[in-house]
Structure 1
Amino acid sequence: MFNAQYFRTYITLVETGSFTRTAQRLEMTQPGVSQHIRKLETYLGKALIERQGRRIILTEAGRRAYDYALKLFAEHEQFRHGLDDDLLDSGECRIASPGSVGLMLYPYILGQQQMQPNLIVNYSFAFNHEISADLLSGRYDIGIVTEAIKHPDLVCEKWHQEPLCLVVPADFAGNTLSDLMGIGFINYYDGINHANALLKANYADDFRSMSHFRHQGFTNEVAMVLDAVARGLGFTVVSRLVLETSPWQRQVKELALSQSVDEVLYCVYRAGAPLPKRYEKLLNGFTEQRLIEKTPS
């Protein structure tokens, strides 16, 4: 029969290298320690240690059992802490977002994990409709999406907003709608919606629909869309999050516009399932950091 205490005794024995010191540390008798080790070896069907005088030597099975035992108790502690919804810096977080959001949110979360080793975050990149389905199935606890979701079993709240940027090749010299139509449009998931919103606000007299533009290509990976723009293949409209994290920043430029339009991001989670406070700290921390970054010094 599996007994976690036998593994705990075994870990202590390996760390102390002595039956006597193990008994003292665990407040047991030395025969009691020996009994735990024998029962663990019987359970596993393998010898775990060899005695050489007063020394103990681990067998190959013993080394593997020690590694497993350490992992077992580490996961146990993570699980135990994860059950406490009031803990801010420990426990598991399961989050999903489109790539355009994750480009900056995920690196921020990794930084938080570096500072808080007991914080475990599983982050997935997915499209809005996939996130909705996976939230309902329990795969994620929260989703950050670029469109409001209406579903009786989901709560959808405005969370954050970022300016949209009209991005053109670095050597682009035009500024009119006709100039943009001349080089064509690079599309991606959400690209048409973003372009419609920004161009309508800034070229109200001339703009009708993105269907009037020559489409130069499509990629489902928003992180790559500026590569096409950098090569002079067309323009696109992306969130500032995407532009700021792009390796092609020097090969493209943002076209100055008079009217700003924001992309609104929404936090979605299952109705009737209040989020642990660690989620609130993560999301609030990100928005506070973005506010600082956008405030002129």
Structure 2
Amino acid sequence: MFNAQYFRTFITLVETGSFTRTARHLDMTQPGVSQHVRKLEQYLDKPLLERQGRRFTLTEAGRRAYDYGLRLFSEHEQFRHSLDDDALDTGECRIASPGSVGLMFYPYILGQQQMSPGLTVNYSFAFSHEIVSDVLAGRHDLGIVTETIRHPELECRLWHQEPLCLVVPADFAGTSLTELMGIGFLNYSDGINHAGALLRSNFPDEFRSMSQFRRQGFTNEVGMVLDAVARGLGFTVVSRLVLETSPWQRQVKELDLPVTEYETLHLVSRSGAKIPRRYARLLEGFREQRMRERFGHGDIVSPL
């Protein structure tokens, strides 16, 4: 039968190098220490020690059992601390978001994980309907979506806003709606909604609907749509998060527009579920970082 105490005794024995010191350290008798080691050898069906009188060396199985025991108790401590909902730097975070958010939020979380080794992150990139299904099924504790979700088993609240950017090829010299019609529109999952909102606000006398624009293609991965723009195939509208993380940002440019529209991000969780404080720390830390960056660009909105 598996017994963690046998591993604890064995680890202590290896680290002290003495049955006597192990017994003293663990407040046991020396025969008790020997019995734990024998029980562990019986359980593993391998000799762990090569004894030479009162001294011993580890067998290959003994070295592996020692390494495993260290990992076992380390993982146990991490698990125990993860059960504390008030802990800020330990525990598991299960989050899902669209690529437009995750392209920057996921690297931010990885940076936090580097500073807090007790933090574990499981992050999924998905579409809004998939995120909702996964949160309902308990596969994720928290989802980030780009639209308001109304469901009796879910709570949905505003979290953050990112400016929308009208992105054109780097050599595009136009500024008018007619000139944008001339190069055509590159679509992605939220592309039509984002483009419609931004163009309607900035060209109110000319814009009627996105059906005015020739469709130049579609991709379900927002991070890839700027590749097509960089090749001169058309324009698109994406959140600034996407533009700032794109490997093609030097091959495209953002058109300056007088009116700013935003991609509004919402947090989705199961109704009545208590979200541990570590999530709030990550969410607020990221949002504050984005606000500072936008303030530096002279573009800031009040927190939601």
TM-score normalised by structure 2 residue count? 0.93
What are the within-5 Å matches in structure 2 for residues 1-297 of structure 1? Answer: 1-52=1-52, 55-296=55-296
Distance (Å, rounded) in 1 between the aligned partners of 2:167 and 2:208? 20
Could you give the per-residue CA deviations for residues 81-129 of structure 1, whole angstroms, max 9, x where no partner exists? 1111111111111111011100111111111111111111111111111
The one-letter code of the counterpart of 2:30 is Q
Distance (Å, rounded) in 2 between the aligned partners of 1:296 and 1:11? 54
Distance (Å, rounded) in 2 between the aligned partners of 1:118 and 1:111? 13
Aligned pairs, how many? Answer: 297
Which deviates more, 29-38 or 130-139?
29-38
SS in 1 for 2:296: coil
The Cα of 1:229 is off from its aligned counterpart by 0.8
Percent of matched pairs sharing the same residue: 75
The Cα of 1:57 is off from its aligned counterpart by 3.1
SS in 2 for 1:147: coil
The Cα of 1:178 is off from its aligned counterpart by 1.4
Q: Compared with structure 1, are the counterparts of its residues 52 and 199 closer, same or farther at alpha carbon in structure 2 (3 Å cutoff)?
A: farther
The one-letter code of the counterpart of 2:69 is A
Distance (Å, rounded) in 2 between the aligned partners of 1:176 and 1:55? 86
The one-letter code of the counterpart of 1:160 is H
Distance (Å, rounded) in 1 between the aligned partners of 2:99 and 2:81? 30
The Cα of 1:187 is off from its aligned counterpart by 1.3
SS in 2 for 1:249: coil
Could you give the per-residue CA deviations for residues 180-232 of structure 1, whole angstroms, max 9, x where no partner exists? 11111111121111111111111121212222322222222211111111111
The one-letter code of the counterpart of 1:192 is I
The Cα of 1:271 is off from its aligned counterpart by 0.5
Unaligned runs of 5+ in 2: 298-304
Distance (Å, rounded) in 2 between the aligned partners of 1:57 and 1:188? 63
Distance (Å, rounded) in 2 between the aligned partners of 1:150 and 1:143? 14
The one-letter code of the counterpart of 1:177 is L
The Cα of 1:153 is off from its aligned counterpart by 0.4
The Cα of 1:24 is off from its aligned counterpart by 2.8
Distance (Å, rounded) in 2 between the aligned partners of 1:22 and 1:270? 49
The Cα of 1:53 is off from its aligned counterpart by 5.3
Distance (Å, rounded) in 2 between the aligned partners of 1:55 and 1:169? 75
Could you give the per-residue CA deviations for residues 22-62 of structure 1, whole angstroms, max 9, x where no partner exists? 22322222221111111011112222222245553333332
The Cα of 1:14 is off from its aligned counterpart by 2.6
